């Protein structure tokens, strides 16, 4: 879902996961603090692509603060850090809880999120999981 270059995007960032070869570009159309539209393009494994797809559906219409909060919960879930997010709060994103058992795959699942956050912050440099 939302696999396209976003016309009218006013933020974007690129991310790479050298360990797996995943590459992603995340596009945002911010309207003030709100994510009006979000899309991505890239190539990589099924985990990174599906994580990006679900991320875009989860974040559309969210505020910057809500997106950062969801990033933190998702990150805690896939890394097993923090207090462990409540799967109910993560909705469909909870399907990625299983990658916690596979450290290499954690980077695949979190790459789209790190890239999205860089785009939110308006950073120009590319994100790397290394």
Angstrom distance (rounded) from CA 52 to CA 49: 5
Angstrom distance (rounded) from CA 88 to CA 93: 9
Site for Zn ion contains 14 (CB under 5 A)? no
| Shortest CB 21 distance to Zn ion, Å | 7
| Shortest CB 107 distance to Zn ion, Å | 7
Contact stretch for Zn ion (CB under 5 A) within 6-14, 38-46, 90-98, 114-122: 38-46
- Quickly list H helices, 29-123: 46-59, 64-79, 87-90, 103-120
Contacts of 125 (CB under 8 A, 6+ apart): 118
Which of 10, 41, 45, 68 lies at the binding interface for Zn ion (CB under 5 A)? 45
The tokens of 77 are what?
């879930």
Site for Zn ion contains 48 (CB under 5 A)? yes
Between 6 and 42, CB nearer to Zn ion: 42
Site for Zn ion contains 129 (CB under 5 A)? no
Site for Zn ion contains 20 (CB under 5 A)? yes
Site for Zn ion contains 22 (CB under 5 A)? yes
Site for Zn ion contains 108 (CB under 5 A)? yes
Angstrom distance (rounded) from CA 103 to CA 20: 12
Site for Zn ion contains 19 (CB under 5 A)? no
Q: What does the buried/exposed string (b/e) look like for 11-25 if buried means 16 or more CB atoms within 10 Å of the residue's CB? A: bbbbbbbeebebbbb
Contacts with Zn ion by CB under 5 A lie at 20, 22, 44-45, 48, 108
């Amino acid at each position: 879902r939302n696999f396209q270059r976003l016309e009218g995007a006013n933020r974007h960032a690129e991310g790479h996961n050298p360990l797996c070869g995943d590459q992603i570009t995340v596009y945002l159309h911010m309207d003030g603090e709100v994510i009006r539209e979000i899309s991505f393009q890239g190539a990589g494994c099924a985990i990174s692509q599906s994580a990006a797809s679900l991320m875009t559906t989860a974040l559309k219409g969210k505020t910057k603060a809500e997106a950062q909060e969801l990033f933190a919960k998702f990150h805690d879930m896939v890394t097993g850090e923090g207090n462990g997010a409540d799967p109910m709060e993560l909705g469909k994103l909870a399907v990625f809880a299983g990658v916690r058992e596979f450290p290499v795959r954690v980077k695949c699942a979190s790459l789209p999120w790190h890239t999205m956050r860089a785009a939110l912050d308006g950073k120009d440099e590319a994100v790397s999981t290394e």
